[in-house]
A and B are shown apart, each in its own frame.
Chain A
Amino acid sequence: AQKVTQAQTEISVVEKEDVTLDCVYETRDTTYYLFWYKQPPSGELVFLIRRNSFDEQNEISGRYSWNFQKSTSSFNFTITASQVVDSAVYFCALSESNAGNMLTFGGGTRLMVKP
């Protein structure tokens, strides 16, 4: 069965610090997809990134970067030079190709960026 673990339940940083959110997953499937979603205080879920299991290239988008390592079943998310607007709950999610595209979410990491 698929499982996603976000061991950090809450992280607090000061603005401009870099912060890494950890995500470890379990799956028996060889084809799967990994995601990060952001949930700001307003409650909506905002899609950030999708990565498939065959693409281990790291990705950078502005201040955001993602590190996918199949060897350790991890898909970590780094925010560089954090800002107060980054304060939110961040969810890592997994979808197996044989599971009808349903998403299995981790428990989320609450990030608080203080000015």
Chain B
Amino acid sequence: DSGVTQTPKHLITATGQRVTLRCSPRSGDLSVYWYQQSLDQGLQFLIQYYNGEERAKGNILERFSAQQFPDLHSELNLSSLELGDSALYFCASSTSRRGGSYNEQFFGPGTRLTVL
């Protein structure tokens, strides 16, 4: 158990809908990362938040957005869903600080999204 929790575990929805994925980082971790794992694109970085602020952005679609709240949990919002958005979405957390030494990211169990 990595200490990172994600809800829900599974989500089935229809095209055009909007969903919210939730992540609670490990206790003490200030950074949260979102990754998408799909058959087409593999595992790719979406976005990182550090202590409530956006820190880095990857190949995240404009239909997707994220935020990190004062209690450090994070939500990934996916809207206008398409069939191709079906994937496993991982959240990870670390203690990495801006400009500091790297600390490994610990991954949550993922949320499997199926868009029908």
Contact = CB atoms under 8 A, between A and B. Distances in A.
Interface of A: 33, 35, 37, 43-47, 50, 52, 91, 95, 97, 99-105, 107-108
A46 B90 CA distance: 12
A102 B47 CA distance: 8
B45 A104 contact: yes
Which residue, B56, B90, B104, has most C-beta atoms of chain A within 10 A?
B104
Nearest to A104: B45
Interface in B16-32: 31
21 contacts: A35-B104, A37-B107, A43-B110, A43-B112, A44-B2, A44-B108, A44-B109, A45-B110, A46-B2, A46-B107, A47-B105, A47-B107, A50-B102, A100-B48, A100-B56, A101-B33, A101-B56, A101-B102, A101-B105, A102-B33, A105-B44
Nearest to B96: A101
Interface string B37-70: 0000011110010000001101000000000000
Contacts of A95: 102
B110 A44 contact: yes
Interface residues of B, number: 26
Interface of B: 2, 31, 33, 35, 42-45, 48, 55-56, 58, 88, 90, 92, 94, 96, 102, 104-110, 112
A109 to B, nearest CB: 12
B105 A103 contact: yes
| Chain B at the A interface: SS class | strand
B88 A43 contact: yes
Contacts of B55: 100-101
A44 B102 contact: no
Nearest to B58: A102
Contacts of B90: 45
A12 B43 CA distance: 22
A38 B107 CA distance: 11
B43 A91 contact: yes
B43 A105 contact: yes
A101 B110 contact: no
Nearest to A102: B45
